[in-house]
Each structure stands twice: as C-alpha cells, then as structure tokens.
Structure 1
Amino acid sequence: MEESGNILRVAVFERHPFVVKASSPIGNEWVGFCISLLEELSKIMNFNYELYETPDGISGNELPDGTWSGVIGELTSGKADLAVSALSITSLREKAVDFTKPFMEYGNVLVMRKPSEQDRDLLAFVHPFQWKVWLCIAVSMFTVGILLFLTSRLRLKMNAGDRHADNDRAFNLRNSLWFVYWSMMRKGELSFFVDSKFELLVLYRTLFFK
C-alpha cells in the first residue's frame, strides 16, 4: 500500500488499552497499542493519516436494513479508509470489510472460586459418571483382562518351545488385568514384574493424588 502524499482517514473508537483518548496541552490525542502500531505502519509503508472518532463509539453491528453501525459502517459507507481499535473478526464482518491478519488472540473462560482443603472430595473423580457407567467400565476391564489372559495361554500352547514367547508367558491373570488397568489410566511406564505393594502404590496415586 503506497499512499505517499495522500491522507488516510482512520476511524477509531475508545477501547482500553488499544485506543485511548488522552488529554494534552494541545487538546485530546489518541494513544494506545493500536495507535502505536498504526504509527509504525505509516513509517514503513509511507502514508499519512488522520484519526477521527466514530459518532456512536462502537465497533459495529449489522442493522436490519443491511447497513452497518460503528467503525464497520464508516468503512462500508466510504467515510473512512481504515479502522483501528479492538475489533473482533466475525464471519458477518468479513463479508462486509477486509481484515488484516490478527495480531492478538484470546479466549473467554469462566472463573470460579478456588476450592479450599475442606472442600476437597477424595471421590470427586467418580462424580462425572453415573454408577452404571462405572460398573460397565469395571466389567469391561475385567472381561478384556480375562480374554487377554486366555489368548496368551492359547498362544503359549500353540508356540510351545518358541524362545520368543516370553511376552505370552508374562501375561498371567494378574498381569493381564494390570495391563488393562495401565492402558486405561496411562500412569507411568508399564512393568509386568511388579509386586503387590507397588501396584497398591500406583492405584493410590492414580485415584487420590490431584
């Protein structure tokens, strides 16, 4: 965009900290992040500009008659060449005007009070699902573990004497159930050769540590 010698009319509306109207000895002037960005662009792309505030002081919404209010309306009506402020990019606005690439992204979140130690519930992990769902999960884990054990026994008999059958030999009933549990929880590295104390420790850390 080479606009040397031309003065671009730039529509703005106040939105801290992007565009702020500040008082000075010579009158009101515009400052803020977007104003500084516009100033740098004018130096790089060699153009002059003048700022003016939109009459309604808003970003812009589509009206029932198809026209727009705010800075979007200033652009669509031809009164402004550019608009600078905190403008959100929406599909409707993209149909009316051209946007530059966004220089800031943010997300809306909900905020809640931080729970105290007294509010902590050791069984909080079961609340998202009903007991029927947890029962189905438990039955499925035991069923898959038993099927895995039976499959390993069958493979071990079919491959008798095979030196590569160590994995099948390791899948006894306890290790088969442990493997299914590990696959569900994905806690740490898998090891078949663990004692019962270690298994209880991992179960405790999985269920109660937050």
Structure 2
Amino acid sequence: VQQFPQMTVSSLQCNRHKPWRFGTRFMSLIKEAHWEGLTGRITFNKTNGLRTDFDLDVISLKEEGLEKIGTWDPASGLNMTESQKGKPTNITDSLSNRSLIVTTILEEPYVLFKKSDKPLYGNDRFEGYCIDLLRELSTILGFTYEIRLVEDGKYGAQDDANGQWNGMVRELIDHKADLAVAPLAITYVREKVTDFSKPFMTLGISILYRKPNGTNPGVFSFLNPLSPDIWMYILLAYLGVSCVLFVIARFS
C-alpha cells in the first residue's frame, strides 16, 4: 500500500451504495501480499481471497497447562494426535467404584444421629440434609462412602501463632478424609488450603439500615441546597451591586 501514496480514503456514507474507488486495487494488493506470521507463511488465493498453505495446531487447556493434541490443514483436515490415555477423564468415571472417607460434624438439621429403637451402625447412624445430599451424589456418581465424625468436633480454623489447622479442614489436609460434607462456610483462608464445591445454601446476610421517612416539601425548601450564610452573602452582594449601580447612574 505504501507504494501507492495516491490511494486515499474519503468519507463514506452508509445510505449510499457508492463503493470506494480504490477498493478493487486494495483487495488485489492484499491477495498478492505474503509474510511470515505466528501460524507460518501467510498467502492468499488470488481468486477468492482465502488463505492457503497453512497449518493450525489444536491446543487443549489441561491442569499442566496448554498441550498440543492435534493439527489441521486445508488438504487433510483435522488430525488428532492425542492418545486415548492422554484424554481427560470424566469426573463421573473417576469417582465410579471408589470408596471415599467422608468427614462431617453434628449440626442440626444437616447432620444428626438417627433416632431408633434398635442399635445402628456405620452410615445408618446419621440422617439430615447433608446425609441425603451425600447419598444422592453416591447414587449418581457411583461411589461408596464411610461417614466419620471429626475427632475434635470443630469445623476448621487456623491458629494465628503456628498457622496449623484443626477440625475437618485439618483432616482434609492430612488426607485422613477425602471429602467434608457439612455446613462449612466458604471463607478466604479456607479456600487457600481446600477446594469447595458450589454452595448448597446462601444465608443472605446483609447490613440493615433505617429507611428514611418521606417528608412533604415546605414553602422554603428551595433554600435547602445552600446554607443560611451563603444566602446572606448573596443578598448582601445583591444590595451592594444595586447601590454601586445607583451611584454610577446618579453621577453619570
């Protein structure tokens, strides 16, 4: 384009169908151009203007980072080079037929001991919302579980002195449990050491304040935007200017 300085751009109007007089020449210059880019040599078909002779890498975002899993080119199309072993495993398949240790804490109505006339053992000892949720997840994902009450009876807090955790969070860190199913609040410090699922309940806690009472505007409510001192200065300035204008008009 720099070789043709006479090529100028004039203002175009949307309601007129008059094309740019250098448009055809500009398109031909683009079709004839070629350079090296990130995807290789960039050239265009002189007939339809489509790009030719290029290859593209198919990239997949994984836990380890970006990984090349295939290529694509106009001649042979898509060619996947990723092996079956390297394909990501579905979370449903990864939990299928696994046995998980679930730590929890007694807190009504989420987790509580089931009342029964006969002795209960294992997971049958507990009931509540979290127990029902865990049972439904195991049915959908196909895993088995063993419920254990947290040893120290605490949710999980960090000691400011030594930075050590207690409660259910500590059992997850020490790999004594695979999951913690309980009414455990999601906090910033806990998210640093554990992963949370989507919250199953939101409390909606907020700050309350008194709603202002509506008042009818008074006769002099237009004076409220300015303080009484400002209105007094305005009145004095008005009187002063009036006196000056009177004196000038009297002696002129």
Question: TM-score, normalized by length of structure 1?
Answer: 0.52
Q: Which residue is equivalent to 1:35?
A: 131
Q: Structure 1 residues 140, 18: CA separation in 2 closer, same or farther (over 3 Å shift)?
A: same
Q: Structure 1 residues 79, 125: CA separation in 2 closer, same or farther (over 3 Å shift)?
A: same
Length, aligned pairs only? 124
Q: Structure 1 residues 57, 140: CA separation in 2 closer, same or farther (over 3 Å shift)?
A: same
Unaligned runs of 5+ in 2: 1-90, 227-252
**Identity score, percent:** 37
Q: Which residue is equivalent to 1:72?
A: 169
- What secondary structure does 2:147 align onto? strand
Question: What does 1:107-118 correspond to in 2, within 5 Å?
Answer: 107-108=204-205
Q: Which residue is equivalent to 2:119?
A: 26
Unaligned runs of 5+ in 1: 112-123, 127-133, 143-210
Q: Structure 1 residues 125, 73: CA separation in 2 closer, same or farther (over 3 Å shift)?
A: same
The structure in which a higher percent of residues are helix is: 1
Q: Which residue is equivalent to 1:16?
A: 108
- What secondary structure does 2:213 align onto? helix
Distance 1:93 1:137 in 2: 54
Q: Which residue is equivalent to 1:175?
A: none
| Shift in Å, 1:66 | 2.0
Distance 2:221 2:197 in 1: 50
Name which one, 1 or 2, has greater alpha-carbon Rg: 2
Q: CA RMSD in A?
A: 3.1
| Shift in Å, 1:140 | 4.4
Deviations 1:138-194 (A, max 9, x none): 42469xxxxxxxxxxxxxxxxxxxxxxxxxxxxxxxxxxxxxxxxxxxxxxxxxxxx
The one-letter code matched in structure 2 to 1:77 is D
The one-letter code matched in structure 2 to 1:62 is Q
- What secondary structure does 2:137 align onto? helix
Question: What does 1:138-177 correspond to in 2, within 5 Å?
Answer: 138-140=222-224
Q: Which residue is equivalent to 2:153?
A: 57
Q: Which residue is equivalent to 1:5?
A: 97
Q: Does 1:44 align with 2:140?
A: yes
Question: What does 1:129-140 correspond to in 2, within 5 Å?
Answer: 138-140=222-224
| Shift in Å, 1:61 | 0.2
Question: TM-score, normalized by length of structure 2?
Answer: 0.44
The one-letter code matched in structure 1 to 2:185 is S
The structure in which a higher percent of residues are strand is: 2
Distance 1:68 1:81 in 2: 16
| Shift in Å, 1:3 | 2.5
